[in-house]
Amino acid sequence: MVPVDRRPVNTPDAHQRGAAVKTRTPERPMTEQRPTAHSAWRRLWLVPLGTAIAVAIAACSSASSSSVQQNSSSPPASQASQPSPAASSSGASAAQVNTAALAAAKAAGSPTKVPTETIGYLRYIAADSSDQRIYNAFVAAADVLGWKVISCDGQGNPTVMVQCMNTLLADHPAAIVNDGIPQSLIATGLQQAKSEGIPTVYTGGSLTPANLYTAGYVPPDAAMGQMLGNYIVQQLSKLSGTQDVIAQTFAAPWGQARVNSLTTAIKGTNVKIVAQPAADATNLVQGTQSQISSLLTQYPNAKAVWVTFDGAVSGAAQAVAAKYPGESFPQAPMVATFYDELQTLQLIRQGMVTVTVAEPLEWCSWVAADQLAEYFARKTPLSQSVRPDYGADMTFWQPTLVTKANLPPAGQLVTPPVNFVSFFKTKWHAEFGVG
C-alpha cells in the first residue's frame, strides 16, 4: 500500500456523542431538522408508481440549499427502516464469514480501542435511492464504531457540492467521505483537507483520476457495464437486422466506465448506439422522461434504452410505457439499468424495466468505515485498492443480473454473496470490543 500524508486532526467538541439531530446551512446557525427530500423519496416505496414519480420530482425540485445534518450515534427512524436482502443459501456461509472476520481482526494487530470521531459526509444527491443506501450504510457502520456523522446534500449540483465541502471542512471532522463525487468538482476542498491532514474517501462509484483523495472503495462499474451490455447484445442478436440502442450517458467517471463497457460489448454485433443523451443529476426523473420520449419519436426502431444513472430509470420507464402502452420487449424497447433499488425491482415486476445489474452497494461504506477505523486506532494507511482483500471468498462486491425470472421477494433486495455486515461487526468486536 502507498503511504499517504495524514497528520492528526484535532476535533474539539466534535467527538461528543448523542447530540440531537440538527440541520443547518453554511450561512445560518443550527436549527431543528426539517423534512428533506431524503425522507420524501423513501416514502415512494409506499405509494403507487405514478404518484411516486410525481412525489420524487417535487422532492427534488423543492430541495433546500446545501445543509449539514448531524446524526447521533443511532440513525434517525427514516434511515433505520432499510429494505432487507432476500434470504438465500448461496455465497459464503456464516461459519466462513465468522472465520474470515476473526482472521482479519488478528492480522490487523492486538486488540485495541477505536477512538470516538466525527466524520463528515458529502452526499451526491440525497433524493437518489442509491445515495440513500450508501449513506445509510455508512451511518450504520459509524454507529457500531461509536462515531458521529455530519452530512451535507450536494443535490447533484457542483456549486452546492463545493459549498458543502467548505461547510464540512469548517467543522474540522476527522475524515470526509462521499459517494462518488469526481475530484474535479471539489478539488480545492480536497487539497485543503490534505493540507490539514483530513483523510478523504470516495465510495459508490469509480473515479479516475482520484489522486487528490486519500482512498476510494467502489463497485466494479466497468464489469457491471460489460455484464449489462452482453445481456443486451444477447437479446437483440435474436432479432434480424441492425438494432438501435438509446444509451443515456453521465459525465462522472463511473458513468463513463459503464457506457464504455456497452460500447465494447456491441463491437462486431448487430447492435448500434443511435443516441447518447446526458443525464441531468438535478432533474433525473422528469428530465430523463422528456429526453427519452423525444428520442423514441426520433428513433422509432429503437429496441433498448440504456439508463446509466440508475436514479433516472423511472423516467425512462415512463417514457417507454407512454409510447408503447401495454407492450413489452421485443414489441417495445427494453429498459436496462443498474442496481437493485426497490423501485427498480418493482418496475421489473410490472414489466416496465427488463433488466438491471445488481450489486450490494452498502459494502463500500462498511469497508470505508473499517479502513478509517484502522487508521484512527493504529495509524494503518488506508488501502489503496478500490476493493481490498479481506480473505478468501470474501468478495463483497459480486454483481448479478436481475430480470423478472429471478426477482427477490417483494420488498427485498438481492442477497449479497457475503454477509459483510456480519463480517465487520465480528471483526470489530474482536478487534475493538464494539458491535
Q: Are strands 68-71 and 148-153 parallel, antiparallel or unpaired?
A: antiparallel
Q: Which CATH class is domain 22-219+360-396?
A: alpha beta
Integer Cα distance of 111 and 93 in angstroms: 25
Cis bond upstream, residue 330 (ω within 30):
yes
- Cβ(407)–Cβ(82) below 8 Å: no
Least confident of 42-56, 235-249, 326-340: 42-56
Q: Which three cell numbers stand for residue 196?
A: 490539514
Q: Is the pTM of this model over 0.85?
A: no
Q: Which of 240, 75, 223 is nearest to 147 (CA)?
A: 75
Distance (Å, rounded) from C-alpha 137 to C-alpha 367? 10
- We find that the CATH architecture of domain 221-358 is 3-Layer(aba) Sandwich (3.40)
pLDDT of 392: 85
Q: Where are the alpha helices (H) located in 238-384, listed in sequence order?
A: 253-266, 284-298, 313-323, 342-349, 362-378
The candidate with the shortest Cα–Cα distance to 179, out of 204, 156, 145, 162, is: 204
pLDDT > 70: what percent of the chain? 79
| Three-state SS at 152 | strand
Least confident among 57-71, 111-125, 187-201: 57-71
CA distance readout (Å), 144 to 39, 107, 272, 281: 23, 21, 48, 32
8 Å CB contact between 226 and 202: no
pLDDT value at 29 more than 80: no
Answer yes or no: are the C-beta atoms of 343 and 279 closer than 8 Å: no
pLDDT at 80: 36
Pairwise CA distance, residues 93 & 115, whole Å: 31
Question: Residue 178 is which amino acid?
Answer: N
Task: Please enumerate in sequence order all residues whose Cβ is within 8 A of that of 110, keeping only pairs 6 or more positions apart, or say none.
Answer: none
Euclidean distance between CA atoms 433 and 112, whole angstroms = 8
Closest alpha carbon to 203 in 398, 372, 393 = 372
CA quadruple 266, 268, 273, 278: dihedral, nearest 10: 50
Which uninterrupted H or E stretch holds 35?
none
- Enumerate residues 6+ apart whose C-beta is below 8 A from 284: 60, 125, 128, 156, 309, 311, 312, 315
pLDDT above 90 for 13:
no
Of 151, 175, 191, the residue nearest 9 (C-alpha): 175
Span between the terminal Cα atoms of the chain, in Å: 28
CB 76 within 8 A of CB 34: no
Range 135-164 average pLDDT: 98
Residue 65 has pLDDT above 60, yes or no: no
Lowest mean pLDDT among 60-74, 237-251, 320-334, 398-412: 60-74
Residue extents of the structural domains in the chain: 22-219+360-396, 221-358
Q: How far apart are CA 175 and CA 164, in angstroms?
A: 14
pLDDT of residue 306: 98
Indicate if the pLDDT at residue 15 is higher than 80. Answer: no
> 21-35, 59-73, 193-207, 331-345: lowest mean pLDDT where?
21-35
3-state secondary structure at position 174: coil
**For residue 67, pLDDT beyond 80:** no
Contact of 279 with 288, CB cutoff 8 Å: yes
Q: Is 186 helix (H, G, I), strand (E, B) or coil?
A: coil
Q: Does residue 16 register a pLDDT over 90? A: no
Distances (CA, A) of 167 to 117, 170, 251: 17, 5, 25
Asked if the domains at 22-219+360-396 and 221-358 fall in one CATH topology, the answer is yes
Mean pLDDT over all residues of the chain? 84
